[in-house]
Amino acid sequence: MGAGKTLVVPVVDQRHIREPTVTVSETTHEHAPTSDGVLLTDGAASKVKALLDQEGRDDLRLRIAVQPGGCSGLRYQLFFDERSLDGDTILDFSGVEVAVDRMSKPYLGGATIDFVDTIEKQGFTIDNPNATGSCACGDSFH
């Protein structure tokens, strides 16, 4: 997996990862190589769809951003957003749109987003080969 560090290490079955269609800025469509884009597992896509259905909104996309913060300097933000910002990369996973802004993209290339639901934990996990370390609480990375 290289020199990357994972905040929460998910077990990812490669058969459940789909290559997204990428939209960069306005109208460029291409397949994203795994080292250049974010991957959303089927489990994560299903959870996002369920949450959107619960909200009753079909105009929202999942935005994944990297912001300054936490013990290690950077933290992830995942939230629903109706906006499309200049320079966004929009990825489509079976009807689930994922937006990554141009400032976050270098930090997220090759990252895999999964959803886990076990006795120990429930939530989205991000396996990021670009993270070189994380804090003890697992809330942020560098």
* CATH assignment of the domain containing 25: 2.60.300.12
pLDDT-based confidence at 138, cuts 50/70/90? low
Three-class HEC string of 20-41: CEEEECCCEEEECCCCCCCEEE
The answer to the question of residue 70 being in a domain is: yes
CA 123 to chain centre: 12
What is the percent of the chain with per-residue pLDDT over 70, rounded to a whole number?
65
The answer to the question of residue 141 being in a domain is: no
The answer to the question of residue 93 being in a domain is: yes
Lowest mean pLDDT among 51-55, 70-74, 90-94, 131-135: 131-135
Q: What range defines the domain where residue 26 resides?
A: 14-127
The answer to the question of residue 9 being in a domain is: no
**Mean pLDDT calculated for residue range 104-129:** 88
Q: Please answer whether residues 41 and 113 qualify as being in contact, where contact means their C-beta atoms are separated by less than 8 angstroms.
A: yes
- Tally of domains within the chain: 1
pTM (two decimals): 0.69
In this model, does residue 5 exceed pLDDT 70?
Answer: no
The answer to the question of residue 72 being in a domain is: yes
Residue 141 β-bridge partners: 74, 134
Which residue shows structure tokens 């689930």?
A: 96
The answer to the question of residue 142 being in a domain is: no
